[in-house]
Amino acid sequence: MPPERNALTSACRAWREPLVTRMEFERRSVTRTTISKDALLFFDAQRGVLTCRVQDVTNSGAGIELHNLNLLPLNFELSFDSFHTVRECRVIWRQGDFVGVAFQN
């Protein structure tokens, strides 16, 4: 097989194979703990308390799955224990129903 054709075949094969999966490339310097736990969030008296699911957590932030919540302010409060304790959060990134937040306190 000519070298050009061999290179093209290799390139096509590589294109079909994922280079890096989501979990293989980790930019965080702190290890996440997977918890998949229901939590409550609050950001406005009109909307009241809403439910969400925290998928993973560190000392500095969390990955949260929202339940079809289209609008979310940049800052809100999150509680794992019915508001006995509260974490102030700031949205860092959002992708559909998944949000990455940093804890402010």
Burial class (CB in 10 A: 0-12, 13-18, 19+), 66: middle
Closest CA to 87 of 97, 75, 98, 100: 75
Q: How confident is the model at residue 34 (pLDDT cuts 50, 70, 90)?
A: very high
Report field, pTM of the whole predicted structure over 0.85: no
What pLDDT, in 10s, does the model give residues 42-62? 998 888 899 999 999 999 999
Class of domain 27-103: mainly beta
Residue 45 is encoded by which pair of tokens? Answer: 């008296």
Q: Residue ranges of the domains in the chain? A: 27-103
Closest CA to 33 of 53, 10, 62: 62
pLDDT at residue 51 in the model: 94
Q: How confident is the model at residue 9 (pLDDT cuts 50, 70, 90)?
A: very low
Return d(Cα 4, Cα 78) in angstroms, integer.
57
Please state, for a pLDDT cut of 90, what percent of the chain lies above it: 59
